[in-house]
C-alpha cells in the first residue's frame, strides 16, 4: 500500500468522523486545521484508523504524531 493510497483512505475516515465531506488532508495538516479535532475525537479517530487498517498504535507512537504526514508514515510502517 503506497502512502498516497493511505492518505486517500485516511481522508475518507476523517470525513466520516468529523462530518465534513469537503475536508481535504495534506501531509502538513495538523489538529489545529481540523475543526472539532480535540482529545475526545482523537481517541475515536485513532480507534477507527486502527480498525480500518488492522493495526494497533502504541502509546509512545501516538504521542509522536504531529501532523497527517506522521500519521501516514506510521500506518505505512505498521502495514509493513
Partner 1 sequence: MNDLYWLPRLAEWTQSLAKLEATPWNGGSAELVRLAGHRMTLPELLRLDRAAAKILNSLSPQTGLESVRLALLGTATLDHLLPGVRAGALRRRLAAACYTTPFGQYRQEIETPDSGLAQFRPEAVLFSFDPSYLAGEQPLDALEAQLASLWTSCQERFRSRIIQQTFLPSAPAILGENEHRFPHSLAARIAEFNWRLRSLADRHGVTLLCVDQWASRTGLDFWRDDLLWHRAKQDIGPRAAILYGDLVGRILGSLWGKSAKCLVLDLDNTLWGGVAGDDGLTGIKLGQGGGTGEAFVAMQQYCRKLASRGIILAVCSKNEESVARKIFSQHPEMVLRLDDVACFVANWEPKPDNLRQIARALNIGLDALVFADDSPFEREIVRTNLPMLHVPELPEEAAFYPRCLADAGYFEGMAITSDDLARTRQYGENSKRAELQASASDLPAYLRSLDMELRWANFDEVSLQRITQLINKTNQFNLTTRRYTEEQVRSLIGDPSALTLQLRLTDRLGDNGIIAIVIGRLDAAGDLRIDTWLMSCRVFGRTVEHATLNILAAHAREMGATRLMGDYRPTEKNAIVAQLYASLGFEPLAASDAGSQWHMRLDRETTLPTFVRVKAPDTSLTPS
Q: Does 35 bind partner 1 (CB under 8 A)?
A: no
Calpha distance 56→29 (Å, rounded):
22
Q: Does 44 bind partner 1 (CB under 8 A)?
A: yes
Contact by Cβ (8 Å): 75, 13:
no
Nearest Cα to 78, choosing from 66, 63, 62? 62
Given candidates 3, 48, 55, 76, which one binds partner 1 under the rule CB under 8 A?
48
Maximum distance among all Cα pairs of the chain, rounded to whole angstroms: 31
Q: Does 1 bind partner 1 (CB under 8 A)?
A: no
Given candidates 4, 24, 59, 80, which one binds partner 1 under the rule CB under 8 A?
59
Q: How far is the CB of 2 from partner 1 (least distance, A)?
A: 22
Nearest Cα to 27, choosing from 46, 8, 43? 8
Given candidates 13, 23, 31, 55, which one binds partner 1 under the rule CB under 8 A?
13
Amino acid at each position: 500500500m503506497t502512502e498516497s493510497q493511505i492518505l486517500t483512505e485516511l481522508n475518507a475516515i476523517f470525513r466520516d468522523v468529523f462530518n465534513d465531506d469537503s475536508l481535504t488532508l495534506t501531509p502538513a495538516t495538523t489538529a489545529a486545521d481540523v475543526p472539532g479535532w480535540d482529545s475526545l475525537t482523537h481517541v475515536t479517530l485513532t480507534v477507527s484508523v486502527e480498525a480500518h487498517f488492522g493495526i494497533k498504535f502504541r502509546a509512545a507512537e501516538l504521542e509522536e504524531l504531529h501532523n497527517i504526514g506522521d500519521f501516514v508514515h506510521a500506518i505505512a510502517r505498521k502495514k509493513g
